[in-house]
Every structure is written in C-alpha cells, then in structure tokens.
Amino acid sequence: MKSAAKSELFRELPSVDELVRAPRFAALLEEHGATAITDAIRSGIARLREQISSGLLDGAGLGLALEGLNGAVEAQLRTVLSSSLRPVINATGVILHTNLGRAPLAEHALAQVREAGLSYSNLEFDIEAGERGKRDVHVDRLFRKLLAESLPSLIETAASAVPPGRSPAAPSTISTIVVNNNAAAVLLALNTLAEGGEVVVSRGELVEIGGSFRIPDVMAKSGATLREVGTTNRTRIGDYEKVINERTRLLLRVHRSNFEITGFTEQPSIEELVALARRRGIPLMEDLGSGALVDLEKFGIQGEATVLDGLRGGVDVVTYSGDKLLGGPQAGLLSGRSELIAQMRANSLFRALRVDKMTYAALEATLLAYVKHEYGKVPALRMMSLSKEEIGARAESVASRVPSGKVKIEIIDGESVIGGGAAPSSVLPTRLLAVTCSGVSADELSERLRASDPPVIARVEEGRVLLDLRTVFPEQDHLIVDALEHVVHF
C-alpha cells in the first residue's frame, strides 16, 4: 500500500477522547470507569495503527475493525480486570498439590484472616503493657502448648541436652518462629548457625524438592560450606564422626520427602545422630519439610515422622512447612531449643523473611484446631481421613447425575496421594470416576474439563480421565456433574 493511502487511513482513526465519550461506550464507561476504558480504547487504536502500518488493513477492513471495537475493548477489559489467580477444582486426588496451592485453608482460619486483614490488630503491640510487642508471640504460645501437651518431658530433656561449655544458664525450652516458607527457614537456620563454617550432610540427602529447592544451593547462599559424607545409598554414623573438625557448626538431616531409597541402604538413626551431636557439642538440625504435627497413623498414613518425634528424640532445631501436612498457610516454621531460635530471631535475615499478619492469623487459627483436637476442621486432614467407601458413594452419586449418552463413566479402585513432598510411598485407597467420551481423546476430554468454570483438574491414565473426589469438596460435587455434562457440548 502506498504511504499516501496509509496516511488517509490514519486520518480515519477516531480520537481516543472522542470514543470514550461516544454513546456506544457509555455502558462500559459506567461499569469500569474512565481510566480503564481510556486505556483499553487507546490500546485498541494502537493495534489498528500497527495493522495499518504493516499494510494489513485497507479501507474496508478498517471500517469493520472500527465497528468491532466495542467487542475488542470489552474483551480487553475482561482480561485485564479479572483475577488471574482463581479457584480450580482439584480432582487429581493429590491432597497437597504444589501447583494447585498446596493445603486449602480451614474455614475458621480464613475468617481469622478476614478479621486481621480488615482492621488494625495487635500484631506487634502488647495490649496490657501498652507498648511495642513481638509478632512471634502469637503462634509461639500455641506451639508451646502443643509441644508441652505431647512432650511433657521435653523441657527437661532439652535442658539436660545443653552440651558442656554452651551457655548452660540459658533457659532450654522449645520456641518456634515463623518465616515465609520452609526454604526460608532452612536458609535462616544455616546462615545463623553455620555461616563461615561447615555443615555435615549425608550424600543420600542432598535432595531437590519441587520448585528448585536444592540443599547444596541453599547451603551456598547461606554462607555455610557443605561437607558431604557417605554415599547415595549408605551413610554410617562413623562417616559423620570422621569429618567433624573445628570448623564444623552443624549436623543436618534432610527428609527425603519426594523419593525413597530402597534396597542396599543404611542411614544412621536419629538416636545415633543425637548422641554424636551431644558428644561433640554441635547442634543437630532436621529439615522435615512436610512436618506433621500429629501422628498420621489415625489417618492411615504410616511412617511419617512428626515434628514432635524429632524434638522428642533430641534434635535441636526442626524446620517444616506451614502448608504441607500441617494444613495451614504458606509458611516456614523453626521449632527448637530457645537459645538457638533466639539467635535466628536476632539475625537480620529474619526481618527480611518474616511473614505478614494474614499468615499469622491463618496459622494461629489452624494451630488452635490442633490444640482443641478439632482435626476435622483442617481440610487436608479431613481429606486424608475420608474412607474409600465414602468417596465411592459420592462418585456413584455424581455418575448417576450425568445424563447417559456419549460420556461413559466407570467407578474403579485407585489411590490418592498426599503430595507436597510428604510420605512419598504412602497412598490412600480411593474410588475413582474413570471417564471416556466416544470420539474424544482422553487428553481432549481433560482439556475440556479444564475449560469449565471453575476449571476441573483431573488425571489422565491409560486413555481415560480419572477423577478422585477425595480432593474435591463435597459441596463442589455438583460442579463436577455440570462439567461432565458439558464436555459433550463443545
């Protein structure tokens, strides 16, 4: 196109101001306000300008595009002004699904967040004394209660655990502080306890946890030097003992979380590590990751070490996540000997890694459920405790409500998993909806389910779409029915 013709077209473009005031944009203007409309119209016009420059639009094309400007502006407003973060239905059966936001919060925890968020609070204010307070008192008090209840003898154990020559006068109770996530907790602990020194870790525990948390990398950032011992499958207590020298600051045990090493393996017991740590006067830290606060055997999960197991066993500091097995908000918790925790609190990194009032509110409410033994209030624990029969009955009910036709649903046995790096090998028996649709591939079917509102996220296995209602809230079951009903009308 000649440049003369192009400048002719440019002249036909209406001005942004003129369009904003045009009657055809009045409704959108009323709904979204002048700023949003002006921006959307401006970018619509800019797009037309580009198309004219690159010769994509002639006179007729421009006429059509201008007529369609309403639709384009509306679509743009919808994308820009709607939330990108939105609820989805987790039908994968993975309870702590990292990509889907890990633990859903308890209703009462959210109510607490609302209260704390909507008004001022005593976050850092001592109401009685009328002066500045500390934000960590809010959850520390509940942790003390939980720990004292489960470990009546812990306080004494910890007191006797102070190695000779290490501030024996310091009160050796257990304290807890909260940071942004467990990765931050590990970073803070390593930096506080071992910066400039060495940390001994077994080669079998140099793990990567989803989202690029790698022990060697975090170690490097903390300023501590990693001292690897043993081999991938076998590490003995003697391996730790051999490398301890005057630069050794910490023995670190890392929960393998997302995998297991089986076969010809060996790993020192916590007792052996505690004994060695005591003998040499070096603290022992355990990065638990998932960190259950109660014994999960009552929920059918075997062999998942709890935070209390570690502390009871004499571990000096335990780090764990708030949004894994604990079932609360994203947070990293450090529980351990008060004098070590006090050092971490005094580290300026703690200030950089601290959490917001909303996290404290949600965490405190979640912990209260534990203190009151109201485990059913914590969604992650509630989902874990559902029986295969309960889930099966709901699956039957969903299947019976989907009109028979192209969609075929079978109810089959399957397994739900905990996820979030917890109990890698423990699975929970469940019943699954196995869905196929004639003429539609399983991948296409799962894509259509994701396109529902709210999106339904499912698993695809052996040419079928599998839906596990364990992770679907019962009040969402009807949305699964709707989604299955609509996958055929695409």
Question: From the CB of 455, what's the least distance to ligand PLP, in Å?
Answer: 23
| CA 288 – CA 286 distance, rounded (Å) | 6
Question: From the CB of 183, what's the least distance to ligand PLP, in Å?
Answer: 3
**Between residues 150 and 290, which has the closer beta carbon with respect to ligand PLP?**
290
**Cβ-contact 184, 221 below 8 angstroms:** no
Q: Contact between 255 and ligand PLP (CB under 6 A)?
A: yes
**Cβ-contact 158, 174 below 8 angstroms:** yes
- Cα separations in angstroms, 4 against 9, 25, 369: 9, 31, 74
Q: End-to-end distance of the chain based on CA atoms, in angstroms?
A: 41
| CA 24 – CA 75 distance, rounded (Å) | 15
- Cβ atoms < 10 Å from Cβ of 2: 8
Stretch that binds ligand PLP, among 21-29, 253-261, 402-410, 450-458 (CB under 6 A): 253-261
- Cβ atoms < 10 Å from Cβ of 65: 18
Q: Contact between 257 and ligand PLP (CB under 6 A)?
A: yes
Q: Considering only residues 156-185, where is the footprint of ligand PLP by CB under 6 A?
A: 181-183
**Cβ-contact 327, 320 below 8 angstroms:** no
Among 93, 314, 328, 332, binds ligand PLP (CB under 6 A): 332
**Between residues 292 and 484, which has the closer beta carbon with respect to ligand PLP?**
292
Q: Contact between 37 and ligand PLP (CB under 6 A)?
A: no
Among 178, 254, 276, 296, binds ligand PLP (CB under 6 A): 254
206-245 footprint of ligand PLP as x/- string (CB under 6 A): ---x---x--------------------------------
Number of residues near ligand PLP (by CB under 6 A): 14
Q: Contact between 327 and ligand PLP (CB under 6 A)?
A: no
**Between residues 136 and 339, which has the closer beta carbon with respect to ligand PLP?**
136
Q: Considering only residues 402-441, where is the footprint of ligand PLP by CB under 6 A?
A: 421
Question: From the CB of 139, what's the least distance to ligand PLP, in Å?
Answer: 16
Q: What is the CA radius of gyration of the chain?
A: 29
| CA 70 – CA 76 distance, rounded (Å) | 10
What are all long-range contacts of 278-283, with beta carbons under 8 Å and residues at least 24 apart? 278/161, 278/163, 278/314, 280/244, 280/248, 281/163, 281/164, 281/165, 281/166, 282/244, 282/248, 282/249, 282/250, 282/251, 283/193, 283/249, 283/250, 283/251, 283/316, 283/317, 283/337, 283/340
Stretch that binds ligand PLP, among 5-13, 82-90, 251-259, 333-341 (CB under 6 A): 251-259
**Between residues 41 and 422, which has the closer beta carbon with respect to ligand PLP?**
422
Among 222, 321, 335, 452, binds ligand PLP (CB under 6 A): 321
Q: Contact between 287 and ligand PLP (CB under 6 A)?
A: yes
Q: Contact between 290 and ligand PLP (CB under 6 A)?
A: yes
Per the listing, tokens 């154990």 go with 157
**Between residues 152 and 211, which has the closer beta carbon with respect to ligand PLP?**
211
Tell me, what amino acid is at 478?
Answer: H
Q: Contact between 309 and ligand PLP (CB under 6 A)?
A: no
Beta-carbon contacts of 152 under 8 Å, excluding residues fewer than 6 positions away, are none
Q: Contact between 253 and ligand PLP (CB under 6 A)?
A: no
**Between residues 305 and 479, which has the closer beta carbon with respect to ligand PLP?**
305
What's the token pair of residue 139?
A: 């959850």
Q: Contact between 366 and ligand PLP (CB under 6 A)?
A: no
Footprint of ligand PLP on this chain (CB under 6 A)? 181-183, 209, 213, 254-255, 257, 287, 289-290, 321, 332, 421
